[in-house]
Structure 1
Amino acid sequence: MENFLIDYRDPIFGLIILISTAFIIALFSYIWGIFSSSNESRKIEVFIKKFDSTNGLSQKYKEFLKSIKLENDTLGILANVFTKSGDFEKAINIYLIALENAKTKKEKEFIFTNLGSVYFKAGFLKKAEEIFLKNLEIAPRNKVSLKILSVIYEKLKMFDNELEILDALKEQDVEISKSLAFVKSQIIANDKNLSFIEKIEKIYKLESDYEMVNRIILELFIKHNEPLSNLKTFPKLNDCIDMIWYLEDAINLQDKEYKALFYAKNLINEYEESEFFEINAISAMRRGLFFDADLNFQYICDDCKSNLPSFFYRCPVCYSLKGAKILPKIVRKNSEINMPF
């Protein structure tokens, strides 16, 4: 026993123990690395089989692209060409071939990001969600995946999930205040357990400076046939003219723009000039005893300049959350009345 204690205190003995321990740890790490890599490869294979489509590239062309072993950057360019032409299934097939060839996390992150974006553009929201969540397992701070996921959850009205994504973006210093105000107002507006009054009070408590929140409140008043005289704050007319124009009772007459609109509609007799050429023109027609002029509306995204037929808070083309720029156009009056929501 005494000899053992002497050996135990020997520095060489301690060095042997240290080297042996380091060797065992390195061996287990190596074995675990091989196992993890093999397991990841199996997961990728399952993933590819799950998302592979027979409606895109034929098997002949798939095998050809695999055999010539193009770089993933080149495959990405080819897939992007198909994406821009709207041939999403071919783009998906190419990204899956690239994914099969991918070796590094950086390559997989690039492919998952683009593959998810293609599914999103094609309108397959749940598949896009699955791909982006897979991408976040590899790259938890991927901003593209997080931003598009927030839009997906918004479209699917999964607002609690969207709040989680917005928190992740906030941690990366992404400006989310406008999105946060919109999401919270939507959660309140869609809560079936709240009365109309409770919804309005909660939305007012958001204390948001964004005009879109005032429009959301106005929409709720109109949808519930509540008297608009109870509104605390009216949106600026250029943010809601497409709703106010169809009202049959004059409201908010202390605002000059509202007053000018209701004069043009022949609902009040006191004239007011408007910043809108169209309202001034219809007012002039009224004074000329022509009452068949009406307005209809187009909607423009300030970011991508897309022209769309109905109002949007988030542009369906570029997904910017700035709301639509509302453009009135003078037309001949008819009996059909359409609210923009």
Structure 2
Amino acid sequence: MDLFFIEYRDPLFSIIIFFLIIFVITFFSYWWGRYRRKEDSRHLDRFLRQFRSLPSKEELKVLISSGELSEKSWLLLANSYYKNGDYEKSIEIYNELLKVSSKTNTKETMFLLGKTYFKAGFLERSKHIFLEILKNSPRTPQALHYLLLVYEYMRDYKSAIDVLEPLDELGGDIELDRTYLELLLVMNDVKLNEDEKQEKLLKIYKEKHKLVYPIFEYLFRVNPELAWKHFDSSKSEDLTELLWHLEVKNLNLDIISQNAYLRELYSARGDVTLAQNSSIFELDVLIKLQGKANATLSFEYICQSCKGTYPFVFTRCSSCHAIDTAKVEWSLSRDYRGDFSEENNSFQ
């Protein structure tokens, strides 16, 4: 009998028992974890099933007040709706959260609600939300920034300029915003005649050397002669689309002949024959074609701040709201205007 108990005191037996216990614990922990994940998944599926169609306001109020999900979870759900463009669902969740949320999270929820109103195009509601935030927390740069955007989209440029003062006090870089808003104010001021607008725009350009495209787009549209007079050849590539679409009657051949890039550009378009080739592939191809194919340039713009791509020129990026960050890219494309003209001729 003593011999039997001595065997249990054997170190090798103790090691076996130790690893056996570890195996049992690991085995049950693994399956218990799988069971819990499965139950959590079922619970989440049951919850999300409620949102395949938007609950009514009363149902949403009950769901939020019941505390089945934390406030942070509701904010994540509302944000997912926001990112998917379901602004109505996002707005209703934020509104209900404001009725039950703690005071510590009220400011954050109100900001998200105002941001969603802005994205959805409800500018007046968005403005009231941000003004309410600033009434209680004046030193909130994010709310000031969005309030500026709201005023800008509402074409209330004077109010937008007023917002720059508190932003400046909070240490924000407002110089470019101020220049841009002053530019919009001049362009949309009905009290100014065309000559006064042109003078003010040229003054802005000479002082800041920013916002080249909107300034010269306006000048080439209303007074091409003045635009060419103050044209900066170093900005030619930035204005490629604008120059490409200029009417022949508005071209200044003296300036074009003195600038290598302009010679290549308008030789590619077929207006002049001042260049035989170009270091830019697209222009070189068009010069070599000499109008033998219906080809032209197409343009797109990349925001150098957020890398968003747009098929049209912009001054303020609609995604990240950066100003004067558009970089032009061009490519060869078919000129459908030539097709239309051939079709029209065939019916004559």
Between 87-96 and 200-209, the greater mean CA deviation after superposition: 200-209
The equivalent residue for 1:68 is 67
Q: CA RMSD in A?
A: 2.4
Distance 1:65 1:168, change over 3 A: same
Is the contact made by 2:238 and 2:327 (CA closer than 8 Å) also made in structure 1?
yes
Match of 1:128 among 123, 126, 129: 126
The equivalent residue for 1:280 is 284
Q: Distance in 1 between matches of 2:100 and 2:243?
A: 57
CA-CA distance at 1:159 after TM superposition:
0.4
The equivalent residue for 1:241 is 240
Within 5 Å, give how 1:35-74 maps onto structure 2.
56-58=54-56, 59-68=58-67, 70-74=69-73
- 3-state SS, counterpart of residue 335 of structure 1: helix
Match of 1:265 among 262, 265, 269: 269
- 3-state SS, counterpart of residue 66 of structure 2: helix
Is the contact made by 2:214 and 2:315 (CA closer than 8 Å) also made in structure 1?
no
Match of 2:315 among 313, 316, 324: 313
Match of 1:255 among 250, 253, 259: 259
CA-CA distance at 1:161 after TM superposition:
0.8
Is the contact made by 2:276 and 2:287 (CA closer than 8 Å) also made in structure 1?
no
Q: Distance in 1 between matches of 2:161 and 2:218?
A: 22
The equivalent residue for 2:30 is none
Q: Distance in 2 between matches of 1:138 and 1:108?
A: 11
- 3-state SS, counterpart of residue 273 of structure 2: coil
Q: Mark the runs of 5 or more structure 2 residues left unpaired by the alignment.
A: 1-52, 339-348
The equivalent residue for 1:333 is 335
CA-CA distance at 1:162 after TM superposition:
0.7
Is the contact made by 2:60 and 2:96 (CA closer than 8 Å) also made in structure 1?
no
> Which structure is richer in relative contact order (CA contacts within 8 A, separation 6 or more)?
1
Is the contact made by 1:109 and 1:138 (CA closer than 8 Å) also made in structure 2?
no
Q: Distance in 1 between matches of 2:226 and 2:111?
A: 46
Distance 1:273 1:320, change over 3 A: farther
Identity rate of aligned residues, in percent?
28
TM-score, structure 1 as length reference: 0.74
C-alpha offsets along residues 8-27 of structure 1, whole Å, 9 cap, x if unaligned?
Answer: xxxxxxxxxxxxxxxxxxxx
TM-score, structure 2 as length reference: 0.73
Is the contact made by 2:81 and 2:90 (CA closer than 8 Å) also made in structure 1?
yes
CA-CA distance at 1:325 after TM superposition:
2.0
The equivalent residue for 1:339 is none
- Pair 1:191-2:193 in alignment: no
- 3-state SS, counterpart of residue 299 of structure 2: strand
- 3-state SS, counterpart of residue 337 of structure 2: coil
CA-CA distance at 1:243 after TM superposition:
1.1
The equivalent residue for 2:92 is 93
Q: Mark the runs of 5 or more structure 1 residues left unpaired by the alignment.
A: 1-54, 337-341
Structure 2 letter corresponding to 1:63: V
- 3-state SS, counterpart of residue 118 of structure 1: helix
CA-CA distance at 1:237 after TM superposition:
2.2
CA-CA distance at 1:245 after TM superposition:
0.3
Q: Distance in 2 between matches of 1:153 and 1:274?
A: 45
